[in-house]
């Protein structure tokens, strides 16, 4: 399953700086808490590229997991106009699946074009 969101180009037409991505997977009493997914970003005028792949399977049964993607610089990706998430199979879970309870993307409009 893939799901995308077109963020637009922001107030200055330069896209958005993605500062963090947080996800929680859980289902009451069932084995849907592990996570496996890929996030891709598309810069303004560019093409999609993989930002990060998650493959987190700490649970043997019920429970929840939380993933936080962040960078020491404060910015995961800059000048982004679109973001896409693709769920992967989670071996050993019910139906090889997981359930996102929450998926949050944080950021701000890009303030200036990157120097070349």
Domain residue ranges of the chain, discontinuous segments joined by +: 2-109
pLDDT given for residue 2 in this prediction: 54
User: What top-level class would CATH report for the domain 2-109?
Assistant: mainly beta
CA distances from 14 to 32, 35, 43, 108 (A): 38, 32, 9, 11
pLDDT given for residue 13 in this prediction: 87
pLDDT digit string (tens) for the chain, length 116 residues: 556 677 878 888 899 999 999 998 887 766 777 788 999 999 999 999 999 999 877 667 777 788 899 999 999 999 999 999 998 877 766 677 777 888 999 999 998 866 65
Tokens read off for 17: 């700086």
Query: Considering only CA atoms, which of 88, 103, 85 is closest in space to residue 39?
Result: 85
pLDDT given for residue 1 in this prediction: 56
Tokens read off for 78: 């800059």
pLDDT given for residue 52 in this prediction: 96
pLDDT given for residue 25 in this prediction: 84
pLDDT given for residue 85 in this prediction: 93
């Amino acid at each position: 399953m893939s799901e995308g969101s077109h963020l637009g180009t922001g107030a200055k037409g330069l896209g958005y700086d993605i500062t963090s991505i947080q996800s929680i997977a859980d289902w009451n009493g069932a084995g849907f808490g592990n996570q496996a997914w890929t996030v891709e970003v598309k810069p303004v005028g560019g093409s999609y590229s993989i930002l990060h792949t998650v493959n987190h399977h700490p649970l043997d049964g019920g429970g929840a997991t939380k993933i936080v993607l962040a960078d020491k610089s404060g910015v995961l990706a800059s000048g982004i106009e679109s973001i896409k998430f693709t769920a992967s199979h989670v071996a050993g879970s019910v139906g090889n699946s997981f359930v996102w309870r929450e998926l949050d993307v944080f950021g701000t409009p890009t303030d200036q074009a990157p120097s070349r």
